[in-house]
Structure 1
């Protein structure tokens, strides 16, 4: 489906020929990676001065007649940065407006033209679906497959940027989104994912990975793929956001753990089958359902048991993803555009483990809050920074 406008509805001050021909001819396809184009669909192209109101005339002259073409969309569907169009050159920058001042803030280049913007967005969609330019990546997984997809996507952006550095939105997409190809669908493991051998050891260091023994497992832990993962693959002893495993004593059930701590809140229903692996925050326990292998978090302050990850394979991938992102940030300063980084990370995680982002209640006390998106979006903590 494409969004088009007729010639009579397109502002005559949009003089750039290819830009005029795009919305009045082939239109703009409604792809998930493209901006929300409500303004274009309803009104043609809206002047910045009209979109902001600008009652005091504070906008710079060169900004007043630029056009608002739409907004970027986050993974959750919320609109974020405003997309502008320079009617003379056809360039597409982004900006944002503050409620207490109508004039736009700094502008950042996004694409040199509408055509390029549509092509970039289509390339990201093709990667996500492994079709089109990325059809050959289907059924290929591992670090090499991810690196190849990253190079291919970055090449699209570099060619379309016409000699300029690709905008942060595209650079993040090329560096982070292909990381979803590192782990393939679970066949050998019996879990959601088959992680490449030594993936965690190579990322965190072999000495930082804890592998458990039979003596560590309580009788409640009967899910064989989970037992095998803990024995053979293991997890980092410490990870992001205060993640830490219990390694001093055999793993207790959540029922046993709360009974041994006089100050702990009573556990949820079914605590006798939940095995406590460690904690995420000081008052939030990391637990695995001993029967199904589902990974959850138990929050003592609000008495809520919430889904965290589908199973240990997706939990391990999430920890790996965050660690890898921090290394990329140290090299490419991705966190300079932190809001875009959090959205890109959420998209990459959701591609591998949709449950980590799905707000649908998974337990009787689940309120829909999800741990990983929440900590990604903790701008004050800025834990995605290197």
Structure 2
């Protein structure tokens, strides 16, 4: 962050390479910056001017919160300043600089859900349909859920809300309408498949986890890890294809569905409001605010890793914290 002493304007400094240093509008003045930060803190805490949003949830709550944030953040004297190559609010989407419009459209996404009934959160039944389409969401009939899934809130969620068949960071397991399989069943079936046999050549040295008959295979990811549901507790993990080791991914199925919904929604918001900037200058800011929004519900899903995680490296697998890896994958175009 830098300040122009002549005008008092405040900028974000992009100093990836000193030869190509760039500055981006942040606030018309230091006093304005304090007001902007206070407004975001009020929203995060649902206090002050945003106190009345407490207890509100659903699509209308998301829309209202975003509109109010845009109004509050846009209430500063942006148009009274000369922002040079960044032009001004007449050219900015939502009449806000990049960072503040990311805040204004991403942070309200947390309001789509309310506290859950036996799960972390209660996602509206049509939330996934609104993003992935009616044919893009699978809801499970009781006979499509194996007896190993004894966690009743998870059974209810899969029947009422379901999961996307295909999302930017998830692909549902098996053919449509096929029952979910336990890890033990899926491991045995995959190991017999001639096209997959090479993946299981060392399977004897990496047997599936001891309770593989009580965990379910939900789907796969572009990062070549599988999504696993604990049928007893409802916790969600990721695992290599051999299922010999599990790493926490989401607290439960509702948090997983929220993360998938948010990722799908963010793809549309990025394009509509130019959230990443012309040369992806704000990609890292977008990733961090998405993670903060997910962490508001499920802090464990966004925990920091102690090293550079690699899902293919057995020694680093515990450190592969899925959602931070996904959202920060600028090279892979995750956002």
Q: Tell me the TM-score normalised to structure 1 length.
A: 0.72
- CA change 1:245–1:135 in 2 (3 A) is same
CA distance in structure 2 between the aligned counterparts of 1:272 and 1:281, rounded to whole angstroms: 25
CA distance in structure 1 between the aligned counterparts of 2:42 and 2:164, rounded to whole angstroms: 33
- 1:376 is matched with 327
CA distance in structure 1 between the aligned counterparts of 2:223 and 2:40, rounded to whole angstroms: 38
* Cα pair 2:26 2:97 within 8 Å, conserved: yes
Between 1 and 2, higher relative CO (CA 8 Å, sep ≥ 6) is seen in 2
1:198 equivalent to 2:149? Answer no
1:179 equivalent to 2:109? Answer yes
CA distance in structure 1 between the aligned counterparts of 2:305 and 2:5, rounded to whole angstroms: 44
* Bigger mean CA offset, 241-250 vs 373-382: 241-250
* Aligned counterpart in structure 2 of residue 123 of structure 1, from 35, 39, 43: 39
- CA change 1:127–1:376 in 2 (3 A) is same
Please list, as runs of the form range in 1=range in 2, the aligned pairs for 1:146-161 lying within 5 A after superposition: 146-161=62-77
- Alpha-carbon deviations, 1:111-153, whole Å to 9, x = none? 0100111111111111111111111111111111121111111
CA distance in structure 2 between the aligned counterparts of 1:291 and 1:359, rounded to whole angstroms: 27
Query: SS at the partner of 2:55?
Result: coil
Please list, as runs of the form range in 1=range in 2, the aligned pairs for 1:25-174 lying within 5 A after superposition: 83-98=1-16, 102=18, 105-163=21-79, 164=89, 165-174=95-104
* Cα pair 2:170 2:260 within 8 Å, conserved: no
Q: Quote the RMSD (CA, aligned, Å).
A: 2.3
* Cα pair 1:273 1:290 within 8 Å, conserved: yes
Aligned-residue offset at 1:255 = 1.7
- CA change 1:216–1:342 in 2 (3 A) is same
Aligned-residue offset at 1:110 = 0.8
* Cα pair 1:283 1:301 within 8 Å, conserved: no
Aligned-residue offset at 1:367 = 2.1
- CA change 1:281–1:103 in 2 (3 A) is closer
* Cα pair 2:235 2:251 within 8 Å, conserved: yes
CA distance in structure 2 between the aligned counterparts of 1:312 and 1:294, rounded to whole angstroms: 7
1:258 equivalent to 2:190? Answer no
* Bigger mean CA offset, 373-382 vs 304-313: 304-313
Name structure 1 gaps, 5 residues minimum.
Answer: 1-82
* Aligned counterpart in structure 1 of residue 274 of structure 2, from 322, 330, 333: 333
- CA change 1:283–1:150 in 2 (3 A) is closer
- 1:285 is matched with 226
Q: Tell me the TM-score normalised to structure 2 length.
A: 0.82
- Alpha-carbon deviations, 1:14-50, whole Å to 9, x = none? xxxxxxxxxxxxxxxxxxxxxxxxxxxxxxxxxxxxx
Query: SS at the partner of 1:382?
Result: coil
Query: SS at the partner of 1:246?
Result: coil
Larger radius of gyration: 1
Aligned residues: 296
1:225 equivalent to 2:144? Answer no
CA distance in structure 2 between the aligned counterparts of 1:103 and 1:281, rounded to whole angstroms: 35
CA distance in structure 1 between the aligned counterparts of 2:6 and 2:157, rounded to whole angstroms: 59
Name structure 2 gaps, 5 residues minimum.
Answer: 80-88, 90-94, 192-196, 307-315
- Alpha-carbon deviations, 1:257-298, whole Å to 9, x = none? 112222434322322211111212474211110000111111
